[in-house]
């Protein structure tokens, strides 16, 4: 099934690149994102990204991301795939593994089991990792209006663990992952994305 995801740290430019990539497929594409790809999910996104007076437990955080995802899979991803659309999603399960697993230190096997439960086993066939140094990504992300959200405000060491986690996952599964250099201008990166995707979807 033609299901592709964009992954990366804060400020990697993946949302822009996902939109440009989706434009290649015209009306055949569903471009969507997590968290917040459904009405329910927009509420969950708000809960996840705003700052709270008490620390958010890592398990609570991960389950909220998976609640958003379960709804998204059921309401949008599966119906689109069943209708023959090409689905392009800005973040998916691998974000949970990178941020809550490698970043927060939650057990990766437990997260994989929750992922199977939440998604019914729906996995992307292509994962484009937009990769750049943490400092470069964070300075891009933090210069956006509104200031850093709750996750962007985590320290550099957290984001380094997330990036290293992405690299570990990409190295372990080269059939699905493509690592794309996300430094440089938007057009340059778009050309690298196109080259990395090749003839997808076959
Ligand atoms: P965004 O900035 O790409 O919209 O993603 C929102 C934030 O949520 C970003 O800091 C990454 C984080 N995130 C997780 O920590 N786990 C997840 O499963 C997902 C989908 C996002």
Provide the CA 38 distance to its chain's centre, in angstroms.
Answer: 15
Which residue's CA is the nearest one to ligand 1's atom 9?
Answer: 151
26 DSSP assignment = G
Q: Ligand 1 within 6 A of 35 CB?
A: yes
Q: What is the 3-state secondary structure (H, E, C) of 151-185?
A: CCCCCHHHHHHHHHHHHHHHHHCCCCEEEEECCCC
Determine contact, residues 30/76, Cβ cutoff 8 Å: yes
Q: Would you say residue 147 has pLDDT above 90?
A: no
Pick the CATH number of 3-197 from 2.30.42.10, 3.30.70.3270, 3.40.50.1100, 3.40.50.300: 3.40.50.300
Domain ranges of the chain: 3-197
In this predicted structure, the answer to whether residue 187 has a pLDDT above a threshold of 90 is: yes
Residue 148 is encoded by which pair of tokens?
């850093």
Ligand 1 atom with the smallest distance to the CA of 34 is 20
Query: From ligand 1's centre to the CA of 150, what distance in Å?
Result: 10
Tell me the DSSP string of 111-141: HHHHHHHHHTT---SEEEEEE--HHHHHHHH
Q: How confident is residue 106, by pLDDT bands cut at 50, 70 and 90?
A: very high
Please provide the average confidence, as pLDDT, over all residues in the chain.
Answer: 97
Nearest CA to ligand 1 atom 18: 96
Q: Looking at ligand 1, which atom is closest to the CA of residue 14?
A: 3
Whether the CB of 151 sits within 6 Å of ligand 1: yes
User: Residue holding tokens 């620390």?
Assistant: 55
SS3 7: strand
What is the band of 142 on the pLDDT scale with cuts at 50, 70, 90?
confident
The H-or-E segment that residue 195 falls in is: helix 186-197
Tell me, what's the pLDDT at 202? 86
What is the pLDDT, as a whole number, of residue 178? Answer: 98
Ligand 1 in contact with 95 (CB < 6 A)? yes
| Ligand 1 close to Cβ of residue 96 (< 6 A) | yes
Q: Mean pLDDT, to the nearest integer, of 73-95?
A: 98
The CA 91 to ligand 1 mean position distance, Å, reads 7
CA of 154 to the centre of ligand 1 (A): 12
Q: Ligand 1: distance of its center to the CA of 63 in Å?
A: 13
How many of the other CB atoms lie within 10 Å of CB of 74?
15
Per-residue pLDDT, 145: 80
The whole-angstrom separation of Cα 176 and Cα 181 is 17
């Amino acid at each position: 099934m033609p299901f592709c995801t964009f992954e990366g740290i804060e400020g990697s430019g993946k949302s822009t690149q996902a939109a440009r990539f989706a434009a290649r497929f015209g009306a055949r594409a569903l471009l969507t994102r997590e968290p917040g790809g459904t009405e329910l999910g927009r509420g969950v996104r708000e809960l996840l990204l705003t700052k709270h007076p008490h620390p958010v437990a890592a398990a609570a955080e991960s389950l909220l991301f998976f609640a958003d995802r379960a709804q998204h899979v059921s309401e949008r991803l599966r119906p689109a795939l069943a209708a023959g659309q090409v689905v392009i999603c800005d973040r998916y399960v691998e974000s949970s593994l990178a941020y809550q697993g490698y970043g927060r230190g939650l057990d990766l096997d437990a997260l994989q089991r929750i992922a199977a439960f939440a998604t019914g086993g729906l996995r992307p066939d292509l994962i484009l990792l937009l990769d750049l140094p943490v400092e470069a990504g964070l300075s891009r992300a933090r210069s956006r209006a509104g200031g850093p959200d709750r996750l962007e405000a985590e320290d550099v060491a957290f984001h380094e663990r997330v990036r290293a986690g992405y690299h570990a996952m990409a190295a372990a599964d080269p059939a699905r992952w493509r690592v794309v250099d996300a430094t440089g201008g938007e057009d340059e990166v778009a050309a690298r994305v196109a080259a990395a995707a090749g003839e997808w979807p076959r």
